[in-house]
Structure 1
Amino acid sequence: MKITHTDLPGVLILEPKIFGDARGFFMESFNQKVFNEAVGKNVSFVQDNHSRSARGVLRGLHYQLQFPQAKLVRVTRGAVFDVAVDVRRGSENFGKWVGVELNEDNRKQLWIPEGFAHGFLVLSDSADFLYKTNEYYYPEYERTIFWNDPAVGICWGIDSPVVSAKDAAGALLVAAETYALDAVS
């Protein structure tokens, strides 16, 4: 597995080795030992999620204020532009973001540790998006940052994505409830 560090410390791009021939391909999509070595700690996943979305759907930017979730995300069909935003007050990277295209051909995965908001935009006709979390989902603790918050400045490449009512009612980062740096480090 190839590990690439992003501009946000802790956020990693993982690229599995792919073995292909005329019959198709094989890849090891997850190996606990290799993964723990890559992220530098033992991570136990408790939930796997799968969503399907149409072109132009933007989901996020989500995080759980209590019971913070780390996520290992990937796309098995289609393509998305996937984004992580540092929402740890006191971090030198607070409000900064990184984005990467995840698609069925590059088979890249993105590791998003606790303390980061997450979102993605579907670039293909539809996309199947899979992710593992190290904490259960608690809707009462979920928070949302506006996808187009000018203080964050994500370059989504779209002016009018399709968003849920919940995401449309998000908060600006400056007014949002966020983490203390030491609460999720």
Structure 2
Amino acid sequence: MRKADIETFFSRLEAGNPAPRTELHYRDPFTLLAAVMLSAQATDVGVNKATARLYAEAATPAAILALGEERVRELIKTIGLYRNKAKNLVALSRMLIERHGGEVPRDRAALEALPGVGRKTANVVLNEAFGEPTIAVDTHIFRLGNRTGLAPGKTPREVEDGLLAVVPKAYLKGAHHWLI
């Protein structure tokens, strides 16, 4: 796509959805981080049902830690990979308390150092919770970047770097949401 076409493309996406948001339900950076981490290989609808149960009992790192892995497992068992996700959520909560005062860090490296958090999850949190102009590359965006030629690449990171290079700065905050 030519630069002018890319500008027009994103302008039209913005006109149709000027304030795009994630479909995951969350209250704050921690509940967003937990929801995104739980969303791997699960639908947003399924994650929202599981997090509604979970957050009714525990919606902070300290409360998750107090709940314990077994209870977290029970509350999220309707989503795939729930055993490992429960283990990671408890470990993530412990690490947030021990290393970050119970707060979600605004730093990519610190986010990616948390159990169960990879680059895509870190990008979603940085973008959605903190307004950072990042693009989380999931399977949909990876496919779209390659099929359209907008940002071809062999890896999600290559597609992410390509998108960051071609998406006009004014549209970076919403680009991830518009493309999925």
Structures share a fold, TM > 0.5?
A: no
More helix by share: 2
TM-score, normalised relative to structure 1: 0.23
Structure with more contact order per residue of length (Cα contacts < 8 Å, sep ≥ 6) = 1
More strand by share: 1
TM-score, normalised relative to structure 2: 0.24
